[in-house]
């Protein structure tokens, strides 16, 4: 393509500088970066095969940074694939100036589990009761688990307790569904507006948001996911009791989806079809979730926080803190992260290039740093300090393979064998310093 690496770099720097805080000092940095960008764009256009569409897109974003509405409109006339993004930027300059943006805006539908399953809440509740009673009959040892999971009083017969809960769920569902529909619609609109005005994504793919009641979902034919996204169908299933931040999180995952050959990318992970037709997930899960948590922090519109999810897990805080650590190491701002997360090729290439230069391996290989959900340990590993990781006799072979891979990437890590009491011995299981000596300068 005719777009030089330099042009893409100065484009990233100009947009990044502008969006860090929009202070006067940063505007000065953005202006200087734009000047360099214009020179590199002229070089790109003079190449044998100039990428006219990308150049028009960059000219439009540059015009937005300089608040030049007429230049932005001219760029829109020449841009094809990213025209919706430029339309969103025009809306950012003047909310009255973008009727096309308004027409495209809000290509999502907020519905509920009753409409999605084409059953009334009462029918779903009855189906849930019958499903749980059938499970208790087939596996009597599950009755105690059902009572605990559904918070049922143990002194009542199981069917009576389930019928009472079903009635409460239907009443709460009917009372809250319109309020939740309104709240989730506002949150989705906020996410789309944020994506477009920052130029991270045009967010044009149709999206369906299904508000789910966990109890009623058990009465649906087939399994209904909860608090998950499906990139294949463009659907987010969200519990009605969840705060808006979880919807922002799942929408981030959904809008980060893009296709490349037989791969479906979702941020920094991808799903790939194997020759036998099965699909496998690869990439860096913790980096992907950490980027999504940083996205939700700015995308949530009701002030809810990560702590309010009550996940009972350390994975999300670990992932968030590790992404921040890597951004600091790589001298990248969150804006550059989000452009890569939502699939901009230039930003993804820049991120991978910085990671390869800094750590001596691709981003995907850093996935093994989540073997211990300990940011301090992972940082010491990245800094080249001596560390250990234990292996156990009954350990899953896949986990053991990941631990061996960790020692191959980072020769400063020693794999030790733990005894039956869980104490690590000094015996070294494997050493990869000879394979990875060239990577020791981290």
Are the beta carbons of 415 and 429 closer than 8 angstroms?
yes
Q: Does 2 have pLDDT greater than 90?
A: no
Q: How is residue 401 written in tokens?
A: 């393979």
Q: What is the DSSP letter of 341?
A: H
Please check whether residue 376 is in contact with residue 236, taking contact to mean a CB–CB distance below 8 angstroms: no
Residue 317 has pLDDT above 50, yes or no: yes
How far apart, in whole angstroms, are the C-alpha atoms of residue 73 and residue 382? 46
pLDDT exceeds cutoff 80 at 61? no
Q: Where are the alpha helices (DSSP H) in 46-157?
A: 52-65, 69-78, 83-93, 99-104, 113-117, 121-138, 143-149
Which residues are registered as beta bridge partners of 322? none
Instruction: Compute the distance between CA of residue 184 and CA of residue 247 in angstroms, rounded to an integer.
Output: 7
**CA-to-CA distance for 233 and 230, rounded, in angstroms?**
6
Locate all alpha helices (DSSP H) within 139-157, ordered by sequence. 143-149
- At 357, the pLDDT band (50, 70, 90 cuts) reads very high
How does pLDDT run across 71-126, given as a tens digit for each residue?
Answer: 878 887 777 655 656 666 666 666 555 444 444 444 677 888 888 888 899 999 99
Check if the beta carbon of residue 201 is closer than 8 Å to that of residue 266.
no
pLDDT in tens, 30-43: 566 566 666 666 66
Q: For residues 66 and 149, is the Cβ–Cβ distance under 8 A?
A: no
Per-residue pLDDT tens for 369-423?
Answer: 999 889 999 999 999 999 999 888 777 788 888 898 899 999 999 988 875 444 5
Look at residue 39 in the predicted model and tell me its pLDDT: 63
Q: What's 233's DSSP letter?
A: T
- For 282-300, write each residue's pLDDT tens digit: 999 999 999 999 999 999 9
CA–CA separation, 91 and 21 (whole Å): 19
**Confidence band of 441 (pLDDT split at 50, 70, 90):** very low
3-class DSSP state for residue 205?
coil
Which stretches of 68-170 are assigned E, i.e. beta strand?
A: 108-112
> The whole model's pTM is what?
0.71
Give the distance from CA 36 to its chain's centroid. 32
Q: How far apart are CA 44 and CA 27, in angstroms?
A: 25
């Amino acid at each position: 393509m005719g777009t030089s690496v330099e042009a893409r770099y100065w484009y990233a720097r100009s947009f990044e500088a502008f969006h860090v805080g929009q202070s006067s000092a940063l505007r000065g940095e953005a202006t200087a970066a734009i000047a360099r960008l214009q020179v590199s764009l002229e070089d790109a256009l003079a190449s044998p095969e100039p990428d006219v569409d990308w150049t028009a897109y960059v000219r439009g974003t540059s015009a937005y940074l300089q608040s030049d509405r007429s230049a932005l409109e001219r760029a829109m006339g020449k841009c094809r694939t990213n025209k919706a993004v430029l339309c969103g930027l025009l809306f950012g300059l003047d909310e009255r100036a973008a009727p096309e943006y308004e027409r495209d805006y809000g290509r999502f539908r907020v519905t509920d589990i009753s409409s999605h399953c084409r059953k009334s809440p009462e029918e779903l509740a009855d189906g849930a009761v019958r499903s749980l009673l059938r499970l208790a009959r087939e596996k009597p040892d599950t009755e105690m688990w059902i009572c605990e999971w559904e918070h049922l009083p143990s002194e009542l017969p199981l069917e009576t307790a389930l019928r009472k809960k079903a009635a409460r769920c239907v009443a709460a569902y009917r009372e809250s569904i319109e309020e939740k529909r309104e709240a989730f619609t506002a949150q989705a609109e906020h996410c789309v507006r944020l994506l477009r005005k920052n130029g991270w994504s045009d967010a044009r793919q149709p999206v369906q948001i299904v508000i789910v009641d966990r109890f009623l979902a058990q009465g649906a034919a087939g399994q209904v996911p909860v608090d998950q996204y499906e990139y294949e169908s463009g659907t987010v299933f969200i519990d009605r009791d969840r705060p808006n931040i979880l919807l922002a999180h799942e929408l981030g995952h959904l809008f980060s989806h893009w296709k490349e050959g037989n791969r479906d990318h979702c941020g920094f992970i991808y799903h790939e079809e194997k020759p036998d037709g099965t699909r496998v997930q690869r990439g860096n899960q913790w980096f992907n979730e950490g980027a999504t948590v940083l996205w939700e922090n700015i995308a949530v519109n009701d002030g809810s926080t990560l702590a309010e999810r009550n996940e009972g897990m350390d994975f999300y805080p670990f992932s968030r803190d590790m992404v921040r650590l890597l951004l600091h190491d790589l001298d990248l701002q969150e804006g550059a992260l989000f452009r890569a997360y939502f699939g901009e090729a230039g930003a993804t290439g820049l991120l991978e290039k910085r990671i390869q230069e800094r750590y001596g391996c691709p981003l995907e290989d850093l996935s093994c740093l989540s073997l211990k959900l300990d940011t301090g340990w992972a940082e010491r590993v990245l800094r080249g300090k001596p560390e250990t990781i234990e292996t156990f006799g009954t350990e899953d072979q896949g986990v053991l393979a990941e631990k061996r891979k960790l020692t191959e990437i980072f020769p400063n890590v020693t794999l030790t064998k733990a005894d039956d009491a869980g104490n690590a011995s000094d015996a070294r299981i494997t050493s990869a310093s000879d394979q990875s000596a060239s990577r020791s300068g981290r």
